[in-house]
A and B are shown apart, each in its own frame.
Chain A
Amino acid sequence: MRLFLSGVRTQFWLIRRQPDELLTLCTIPFTVVMMLSIVMHAARPDLVANAFLAPTLIGLWGFATGLATTVLVGDRWIDALPLGMAAPGSLHPVYLGRISAVMVLGVVPLGETWLLGKLLFGVTPAVHHPWVFWAAMAASVFAMIGTSLLLAASMLLSKNSNNYLNFLSFPIYVLSGVMVPVQYLPEFLRPLSDVIFLSWSADLMRDAMAAAPVTAVGWRLLAIVGLGVAALVAGRVLLALTLRRARELGVVTYA
């Protein structure tokens, strides 16, 4: 636990001094304006919830791919990784702590979106089931931490990780139903959506904002947390394998 907390503390120290790492927060207003403009122009108040959710979850994902996922690659770049490998403390909890610190900041786009909606368009979406909404948000942040660890460990294997990170934006937003509900996607794409925790998060949060009763809350939360745990375990295993391989071969990257 001490190593985890040390990772959290160190990442906060680093972020505080690197405001450019918070670039995701600067992109949120553009998404908010775009989404709400469309909805307001089309006179579709029923889609206001969607317009608010999209920037919120895109922001969460943006923090993961823009910052959390690059923690390990950054350490490889500055040669801090081999020093860490030679230290007696395990690296897993340290990096998990650093990623968690970033993902806690991933909640900020939620407040930013609400504030911008109110200031620019004078609308605030109703959240009819706040406890479900916040539970889904918390579960999503947890799942995002696990997913980020898996992505961070994967990126470590590539010399050109930025290329892959670029791919992990718009296709994921579409597949996860963040921008458009999954039910509007072609049938053959839906199984893919099911294994992306964000699709469960978007659906549950959308339902939490609607007036109708939310069904199967427990199972849906479990799906988000379960996918997060699966990613967390896979990330930990992949990181362990990558570091073991680095000790055996003397290289970290795969290609």
Chain B
Amino acid sequence: MSVRVRDLTRTYRKGKGWRPKGEEVTALAGLTLDVPANEVHGLLGPNGAGKTTLCKILSTVLLPTSGTAEVLGHDVVTGAAEIRPRIGIVFGGERGLYGKLTARQTLRYWASLYKIPDAVAKVRTGELLARLGLADKADDLVETFSRGMKQRVHLARGLVGDPELVLFDEPTTGMDPVAARDFRELIGELRDEGRTILITTHDMDEAEAVCDRVTLIDRGRVLATESPRGLAAMSGPHRWVEAETSLDVTGIPGVVDTETRNGVLRVKTTDDRAARAVLDFLLDRGVRSVHAVPPRLEDVYLDLIGRRGMEV
């Protein structure tokens, strides 16, 4: 097991001073999670759900309030020194990068912090830059890079220690679609190399595309852990219909919710019978592009967490 978390709790105190004594805020409330070796595991949840707090604890930069967390067989509190050389952390966006260093210098700096001998670091830096398509830009300043390229520097930085477990915190933030596709391919390659991947994300499509299993977290608790397909099955008797139309179907009995994206109407219904009624209604009015569709991970996410979306 790469990650084993049991009844993990983390609370913060608001206020100022060396030991703040203000109101207590709970970020993790008895969270339990297992991530087997060589799995790509997604952590999904709205802002404030506890995803980043969990990542911080697993990466040993934050201590839990209670409960236990083991990474690669070592406790995050007592075995942090054993864990650190074996994990890599990748932030999304521009966080954590020195704009005035080149990509190569960035990797050399972090390689030294991972105690990699200079000769090895030199070779590994070159390999990682080539692998992530940055060989031609290796000696350019990071601040001159596009967001996608900066993200690749982050990825290279996270891999410089040749980690067994890689923690990705919102990795595709600010990535364009091409860079996001490349990122997904890279995740596949990392899994093929035997690494375990833990990704926190808001992006349902990303989770669906790359994760073997996903865990939905809300208010510091696990709502469900399943494969994306298995999780979709948790949507109960609900059925969905999609059609290219602007017709109003909200009056049909059994229609729970409607949403239009890019000219496509998506209708959530209570059951098979209601979905049939929607299909008949649309076909009778000449709509030709209409079909029943399986639930998306996003649908289950919204079912379980509600429509709080990105709210805290």
- Chain A positions within 8 Å of B, measured between CB atoms, are 2-3, 6, 10, 13-14, 17-18, 78-80, 82-89, 94, 245-251, 254-255
Contact = CB atoms under 8 A, between A and B. Distances in A.
Interface stretch (B110-118, B183-191, B256-264): B110-118
A86 B114 contact: no
Contacts of B89: 83, 86
B119 to A, nearest CB: 12
B114 A88 contact: yes
B151 to A, nearest CB: 14
Interface in B72-98: 81, 84-85, 87, 89, 91, 94-98
A120 B112 CA distance: 46
B22 to A, nearest CB: 12
Interface string B54-65: 001001111100
A245 to B, nearest CB: 7
A88, A251, A255: residue with the most chain B Cβ atoms closer than 10 Å: A88
The 4 closest A-B pairs by CB, nearest first: A6-B112, A79-B95, A87-B113, A17-B100
Q: How large is the interface on B (under 10, 10 to 19, 20 to 34, 35 or more residues)?
A: 35 or more
B87 A86 contact: yes
Nearest to A248: B63
Contacts, number: 91
B18 A254 contact: yes
Contacts of A245: 18
Nearest to A254: B18
Contact of A249 (B20, B59, B84, B113): B20
Say what secondary structure dominates the interface of chain A. helix
B141 interface: yes
B286 interface: no
Given A10-B109, A17-B100, A88-B85, A82 B56 contact: yes
Contacts of A249: 12-13, 19-20
B105 A89 contact: no
A89 B114 contact: yes
B14 to A, nearest CB: 10
Contacts of A10: 101, 105, 109
A83 B95 CA distance: 10
A61 B13 CA distance: 38
A82 B112 contact: no
B112 A3 contact: yes
Contacts of A13: 100-102, 105
B147 to A, nearest CB: 15
Contacts of B108: 6
B141 to A, nearest CB: 7
Interface string B1-41: 00000000010110011111000000000000000000000
A74 to B, nearest CB: 9
29 contacts: A2-B112, A2-B115, A10-B101, A10-B109, A13-B102, A13-B105, A14-B101, A17-B101, A18-B100, A79-B96, A80-B96, A82-B96, A83-B157, A85-B61, A86-B89, A87-B110, A87-B113, A87-B161, A88-B84, A88-B115, A88-B161, A89-B112, A245-B18, A246-B61, A249-B12, A249-B13, A250-B12, A254-B18, A255-B16
A248 B115 CA distance: 25
Contacts of B10: 250
Contacts of A89: 112-115
Contacts of B112: 2-3, 6, 89, 94
Nearest to B99: A78
A7 to B, nearest CB: 8
A3 B114 CA distance: 10
Contact of B95 (A14, A78, A248): A78
